[in-house]
Amino acid sequence: MPKGLIIKALSGFYYVEEEKTKRIYECRGRGVFRKQNLTPLVGDYVTFQVEANEKGYINDIDTRKNELIRPMIANVDQVILVFSVKKPEFNQPLLDRFLAVIEASFIKPVIVLTKMDLLVNDSIEPFIAYYEAIGYKIVKTSKFDKTSINNFCRLLDNKISVLAGQSGVGKSSLLNAINPNFELHTDQISLALGRGKHTTRHVELFKAANGLVADTPGFSSLDFQELEIDIELLAQAFTDFFKLSHECKFRGCLHVNEPKCAVKAKLKHNPIYDSRYQNYVNFHEEIKSKKVIYKKKED
C-alpha cells in the first residue's frame, strides 16, 4: 500500500500527498482509530489504500516524534512564533506563554518579528538582546524588505514548520510575500480593537522555500490546563530560569515562595528579566488555580 503525508485536514477528510508521485488523495480514517482514541493529524506519515473512486482510506499512522494540541499537527521540526512590533504592539506576556508551551512540547521555537518598517525607535532592541542571550533565534522582517523575507525563507528549508501567533501580526502576509500564489486571505487590523480577525480556518501544510509550513488559526490565549502543563513542567519550560535552578538552595525550586532562590536573586537588574519573571509567576498561579477548580469539580 502507498505511503504519504497528511497535508490538510478538513471536516473529517484527510488530504494525503503520496510520497513518490506527490499526487494528493482525499482520504477518510478507518474506524479503528476511534477505538484507539487516535485521530490522524496534519503532519502524520501514513499508510493508505486507494479505492475505485480514486479516494482513499488511512490504514496506519507512523509513530510521531511530537505533536501539538493547538494547532493539531504532528512531526513538527520547529514552531515559528510570529510577533509584530506594531499594530498590534509587541506582546511579551503572550510570547512567554507561547515559548513555555513550545518548550514543554520539546519542539524548537524560533521568534520572527514582523512590521519592522512601522517601528520609529529602538524600543524593541532590549527584548531582542535578552531573548537572543538566552538562546532564541530571532529574525526581523518587513514584507517590504526582500532581504528580510529571504532570511525568513532560509528558516523553512527542509523542515516542517508551524507559524503561530495572535491574529493580525502578519503570518499570512509573510507567506504571501514568499509566494503570492498562496493567495492566503488576510484582513486588516481592527482599529477599534487593535487586533486582527481570525482569517485562517484550518490547519494545512503549504510548500514554501523547499520546506512545508502550516499557517494556523490566529489566537491570543493558550490554556495550560488544556495542554496538560503542570507547574513543574512550566519551571523547566522557562529555560533561562531552569539553567539557574541548580544554584537554588532547594532541589525542584519553583522560584515563587522558596527562600534562597537564584532566580529571584537576579530580579531588579534587568527590566526584561523582571517582566519575564512576572509572566512566569502569573502562569504559575494560573495553573495552580485551575488545578484547584478541576479537583473541586471532580469531588
| Beta carbons within 8 Å of 293's beta carbon, 6+ residues apart | none
SS3 172: helix
pLDDT mean across residues, the chain:
86
Q: How confident is the model at residue 58 (pLDDT cuts 50, 70, 90)?
A: very high
Q: Please say whether the beta carbons of 39 and 28 come within 8 A.
A: no
Is 8 part of a structural domain of the chain? yes
Q: Of 59, 107, 120, whose CA–CA distance to 80 is shortest?
A: 107
| Beta carbons within 8 Å of 151's beta carbon, 6+ residues apart | 139, 141
| Beta carbons within 8 Å of 53's beta carbon, 6+ residues apart | none
Same domain, 208 and 76: yes
Same domain, 126 and 58: no
196: pLDDT strictly greater than 50: no
How far apart are alpha carbons 63 and 153 in whole angstroms?
29
Which of these three, 153, 182, 215, is where a domain ends? 215
Q: State the residue range of the domain holding 251.
A: 231-298
Same domain, 94 and 198: yes
275: pLDDT strictly greater than 90: yes
| Beta carbons within 8 Å of 115's beta carbon, 6+ residues apart | 84, 85, 86, 87, 142, 169, 170
- CATH number of the domain bearing residue 236: 1.10.40.50
269: pLDDT strictly greater than 60: yes
Same domain, 47 and 94: no
Q: What is the pLDDT of residue 44?
A: 97
Give the whole-number percent of the chain exceeding pLDDT 90: 63
Q: What is the pLDDT of residue 140?
A: 96
Same domain, 181 and 117: yes
Q: What is the pLDDT of residue 182?
A: 62
| Number of domains within the chain | 3
Is 203 part of a structural domain of the chain? yes
Give the whole-number percent of the chain exceeding pLDDT 70: 87
Q: What is the pLDDT of residue 244?
A: 97
Is 145 part of a structural domain of the chain? yes
Which of the residue ranges 65-74, 90-99, 244-253, 266-275 would you say has the lowest mean pLDDT?
65-74
Is 222 part of a structural domain of the chain? no
Q: How confident is the model at residue 200 (pLDDT cuts 50, 70, 90)?
A: very low
Is 221 part of a structural domain of the chain? no
Same domain, 255 and 206: no
Which of these three, 166, 182, 215, is where a domain ends? 215
Same domain, 105 and 189: yes
